[in-house]
C-alpha cells in the first residue's frame, strides 16, 4: 500500500507527528491535521500537507481534503481537566467530538482502514493478572479513560461494513522530540528523567521499582503500516514493544549517559501492570527498537535541542 494517502489527526503532538513523519518516510502521501502546529513540528513535517482545524468546532474542513485510504485518529486531550479549567464532562466532550467528526468523515469517504489509537489508560491499578493482556477487562473511569473506552466501542459500531477498523491500545511511549504541549502537559517519565539529568538534577526513583512497557514512538508507523495491510479487528489489541524495564534499570541507563547524575529513592504510589503486546501475525519478526538504542536517540536529540 506504499503511496497511499494517509490522514492523521493530532499530528502536531508527540505521537501524531511521529506517525506523520514515519508514514511520509515510508512513501505515503500524508495529510497531518491538528489544532495547531508549532514551529518545531512544522520543521519536522515539512514534507507533508499540514491542516490546522479544531474538529470539535469546525469539521467542515474535512470535506475539502482529498479522500484518504487510511485514517489514523491520534488526536487526544490527556491533560488533567482541572489543569485546563474544565469539568470532567467538558473533558470527555472535548475528546469525543473530534472522534465523532472523523467517524462521520469515514462514513462519507469510505477509506480502506480506520485506526483508533486507544491507550493503556483504559486500565486501572489492580487490573491485570499479573500483567495486562488481551484477556483483561479495563475498569478505569476517569474522563480520559472513559473517552478512550467509549471510542473502542464506537469505532467498530460506526464503521463495520464501511472499512476495516483497528483499535490499538498504546502503552508507555518515548522517543525524540517529546515536549509538553497544552493537550499533553505531562511528558513521559523517561523524558522527564532525561531532561532532569541533562540539567544536572537527580533522578527521583520510586521505591516500588515498577516494571513498565516502553515502546519507541518512531516504531509505530512501520508497525501500523504492516497492520493496515491485513484484516481489521473489532476488539482492541495491544500494540507495542515486548520490552519491559524496571524503573531502576532505566534510571541507571540514563545515568550512564549523564555520568554526574545522582539517583535518589523516593516514596511512590502503586503503578499499573505493564501491558503485554498482542500476538499479531502481521508483526511477526518486527524489529522493535531496544531501550538502549532508543535512549541513545532521545539523549542525542536532547543534547542537540
Contacts of 157 (CB under 8 A, 6+ apart): none
Q: Is the pLDDT of residue 8 over 80?
A: yes
> Tens digit of pLDDT for each residue in 40-90?
999 999 999 999 999 998 889 999 999 999 999 999 999 999 999 999 999
The per-residue pLDDT for range 231-280, each reduced to its tens digit, is 988 899 999 999 999 999 999 999 999 999 999 999 988 889 999 999 99
Q: What's the mean pLDDT in 158-164?
A: 97
Cell of 267: 516514596
Rounded CA separation 153/235 (Å): 8
Tell whether the model's pLDDT for residue 125 goes beyond 60.
Answer: yes
- pLDDT higher than threshold 70 for residue 303: no
- Whether the per-residue pLDDT at 2 is higher than 80: the answer is no
Residue 179: per-residue pLDDT: 94
CA distance 108 to 151: 19
130 upstream amide cis, omega within 30 of 0: yes
In whole numbers, what is the pLDDT of the chain averaged over residues?
95
Distance from CA of residue 28 to its chain's centroid? 20
Q: What is the pLDDT of residue 1?
A: 63
- The position carrying cell 471510542 is 151
Matching CATH number, 5-174+214-240, of 3.40.50.720, 1.25.40.10, 3.40.190.10, 3.40.50.300: 3.40.50.720
Statement: residue 305 has pLDDT above 90: no
| Domain edges within the chain | 5-174+214-240
Residue 65 three-state SS: coil
SS3 269: coil
For the segment 194-223, what is each residue's pLDDT rounded down to a tens digit?
999 999 999 999 999 999 999 999 999 999
Residue 304's pLDDT is 47
Amino acid at each position: 500500500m506504499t503511496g497511499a494517502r494517509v490522514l492523521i489527526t493530532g499530528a502536531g503532538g508527540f505521537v501524531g507527528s511521529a506517525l506523520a513523519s514515519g508514514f511520509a518516510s515510508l512513501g505515503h502521501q500524508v495529510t497531518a491535521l491538528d489544532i495547531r502546529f508549532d514551529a518545531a513540528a512544522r520543521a519536522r513535517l515539512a514534507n507533508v500537507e499540514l491542516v490546522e482545524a479544531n474538529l470539535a468546532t469546525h469539521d467542515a474542513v474535512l470535506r475539502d481534503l482529498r479522500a484518504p485510504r487510511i485514517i489514523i485518529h491520534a488526536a487526544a486531550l490527556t491533560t488533567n481537566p482541572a489543569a485546563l479549567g474544565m469539568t470532567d464532562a467538558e473533558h470527555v466532550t472535548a475528546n469525543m467530538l473530534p472522534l465523532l467528526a472523523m467517524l462521520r468523515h469515514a462514513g462519507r469517504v469510505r477509506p480502506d482502514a480506520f485506526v483508533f489509537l486507544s491507550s493503556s489508560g483504559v486500565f486501572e491499578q489492580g487490573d491485570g493478572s499479573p500483567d495486562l493482556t488481551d484477556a483483561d477487562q479495563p475498569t478505569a473511569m476517569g474522563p480520559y479513560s472513559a473517552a478512550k473506552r467509549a471510542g473502542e466501542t464506537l469505532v467498530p459500531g460506526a464503521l463495520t461494513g464501511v472499512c476495516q477498523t483497528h483499535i490499538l491500545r498504546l502503552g508507555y511511549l518515548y522517543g525524540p522530540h517529546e515536549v509538553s504541549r497544552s493537550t499533553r502537559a505531562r511528558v513521559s517519565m523517561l523524558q522527564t528523567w532525561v531532561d532532569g539529568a541533562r540539567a544536572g538534577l537527580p533522578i527521583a526513583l520510586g521505591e516500588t521499582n515498577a516494571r513498565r512497557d516502553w515502546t519507541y514512538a518512531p516504531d509505530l508507523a512501520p508497525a501500523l503500516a504492516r497492520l493496515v495491510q491485513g484484516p481489521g479487528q473489532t476488539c482492541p489489541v495491544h500494540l507495542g514493544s515486548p520490552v519491559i524495564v524496571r524503573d531502576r534499570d532505566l534510571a541507571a541507563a540514563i545515568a550512564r549517559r549523564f555520568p554526574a547524575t545522582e539517583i535518589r529513592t523516593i516514596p511512590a504510589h502503586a503503578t499499573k501492570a505493564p501491558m503485554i503486546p498482542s500476538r499479531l501475525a502481521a508483526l511477526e519478526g518486527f524489529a522493535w527498537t531496544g531501550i538502549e538504542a532508543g535512549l541513545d536517540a532521545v539523549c542525542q536529540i536532547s543534547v542537540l535541542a
